[in-house]
Structure 1
Amino acid sequence: MKTSMLHVFLCLLLTSNAFAQSGNEKVTAIKVKANATVSYQGNLSDGQQIADLSWASNSSVACFPATQNQKFTGNHVFYSTTIPKRSEMFIKVIPKNKNQNFSLYAYQVGLTNEQLPPNLSSCITCEADSKWDRNWKGKTQDHTRNVRVNAINRPYKIMIGVVGAEGLTAGDFTLEIKLNGGEEIVHTAPNIKAVNIVTKGAITRTSGNLNSGAIISDLSWASNSSVACFPATQNQKFRGNHVLYSTTIPKYSEMFIKVIPKNKKHNFSLYAYQVGVNNEQLPPKLSSCVTCEADHKWDRKWRGKTQDHTRKVRVNAINRSYKIVIGVVGAEGLTEGDFDLEIEIKKR
Structure 2
Amino acid sequence: MKTSILYTFFCLFIINNAFSQNRNTQISVLKVKANSTVSYQGNLADGQQISDLSWAANSSVACFPATQNQKFSGNHVFYSTTIPKRSEMFIKLIPKNKNHNLSLYAYQVGLSNEQLPPNLSSCITCEADHKWDRKWRGKTQDHTRKVRVNAINRAYKIVIGVVGAEGLTEGDFTLEIKLNGGEEIPMMTAKVEVMKIETTGTVTTINGNLETGGLISDLSWAANSSVACFPATQNQKFSGNHVIYSTTIPKYSEMFIRLIPKNKNQNFSLYAYQVGLSNEQLPPKLSSCVTCEADHKWDRKWRGKTQDHTRKVRVNAINRSYKIVIGVVGAEGLTEGDFELEIKIKKR
Equivalences for residues 36-47 of structure 1 within 5 A? 36-47=36-47
- Structure 1 residue aligned with 2:157: 157
Supply the RMSD in Å over aligned alpha carbons.
1.7
Deviations 1:92-141 (A, max 9, x none): 00000011111000000000000000000000000000011111111111
Structure 2 residue 80 is matched with structure 1 residue 55: no
Unaligned runs of 5+ in 2: 1-9
**Paired position in structure 2 for 1:171:** 171
| Deviation for aligned residue 1:24 | 2.5
Letter in 2 for 1:227: V
State the secondary structure of the residue aligned to 2:190: coil
**Structure 1: how far apart are the matches of 2:307 and 2:23?**
49
Matches of 2:102 and 2:138, distance apart in 1? 22
**Distance in 2 of aligned mates of 1:248 and 1:15:** 70
Contact (CA 8 Å) 1:62, 1:126: kept in 2 or not?
A: yes
Measured after TM superposition, the shift of residue 17 of structure 1 is: 6.1
The question of 1:209 aligning with 2:204 is answered: no
- Counterpart in the other structure of 1:335: 335
CA distance in 2, matches of 1:264, 1:58: 53
Q: Which moved more, 1:39-48 or 1:275-284?
A: 275-284
Deviates more, 1:182-191 or 1:201-210: 182-191
Q: Distance in 2 between matches of 1:87 and 1:95?
A: 26
How far, CA to CA, are the matches of 1:23 and 1:72 in structure 2? 20
CA distance in 2, matches of 1:306, 1:128: 32
The CA deviation string for residues 27-59 of structure 1, in whole angstroms up to 9 with x for no partner, is: 001100000000000000000000000000000
Q: Write out per-residue CA displacement over residues 207-247 of structure 1, whole angstroms, 9 at most, x where no aligned residue.
A: 10000000001111111111111111111111000000011
Structure 1 match to 2:275: 275
Q: CA deviation at 1:15?
A: 10
Residues 27 and 222 (structure 1), Cα distance of their counterparts in 2 relative to 1, 3 Å cut: same
The answer to whether the 8 A contact 2:189-2:215 is kept is no
Matches within 5 A, 1:1-348: 18=18, 21-348=21-348
Corresponding residue for residue 3 of structure 1: none
SS across alignment from 1:107? strand
Report the 3-state secondary structure (helix = DSSP H, G, I; strand = E; otherwise coil) of the residue aligned with 2:200.
coil
Structure 2: distance between partners of 1:183 and 1:143: 32
Which stretches in structure 1 are left out of the alignment for 5+ residues? Answer: 1-9
| Aligned residue in 1 for 2:6 | none
Deviates more, 1:238-247 or 1:23-32: 23-32
The whole-number CA distance in structure 2 between the counterparts of 1:123 and 1:89 is 17
Q: Is the 8 A contact 1:23 1:117 kept in 2?
A: no
- Per-residue CA shift, 1:131-182, capped at 9, x if unaligned? 1111111111110000000001100000000001111110000000000011
Q: Report the Cα distance in structure 2 between the residues aligned to 1:60 and 1:24, rounded to whole angstroms.
A: 24
The answer to whether the 8 Å contact 1:206/1:341 transfers is yes
Give 1:174's aligned amino acid: T
Instruction: Please tell me whether the aligned partners of residues 53 and 118 of structure 2 are also in contact (alpha carbons under 8 angstroms).
Output: yes
Quote the offset at 1:16 in angstroms: 11
Deviations along 1:46-96, one digit per CA (max 9) or x if unpaired, are 000000000000000000011111100010000000000100000000000
Tell me which moved more, 183-192 or 223-232: 183-192
Q: Indicate the residue corresponding to 2:5 in structure 1.
A: none
2:107 aligns to what SS in structure 1? strand
**Displacement of 1:193 after TM fit?**
1.6
Give the Å deviation of 1:19.
Answer: 7.4
SS in 2 for 1:225: coil
- Contact conserved, 1:261 with 1:310, CA < 8 A, in 2? yes
Maintained 8 Å contact 2:18/2:118? no
| 1:253/1:200 CA distance change after superposition, 3 Å | same
Aligned partners of 1:21 and 1:51 also within 8 Å: no
Distance apart, 1:18 and its partner CA? 4.4
Contact 1:23/1:116 (<8 A) preserved: no
Change (3 A) 1:104 1:128: same
Instruction: State TM-score, norm by structure 2.
Output: 0.94
Q: % of aligned pairs identical?
A: 81
- Residues 15 and 110 of structure 1, relative CA distance in 2, 3 Å threshold: closer
Could you tell me how far apart the structure 2 residues matched to 1:157 and 1:150 are?
11
Between the aligned partners of 2:139 and 2:313, the Cα distance in structure 1 is: 30
| Distance of 2:265 and 2:16 partners within structure 1 | 61
Cα shift readout 1:268-301 (whole Å, capped 9, x = no counterpart): 1100000011111111111111000001111111
CA distance in 1, matches of 2:275, 2:14: 69
- The answer to which of 58-67 and 300-309 deviates more is 300-309
The aligned amino acid for 1:95 is P
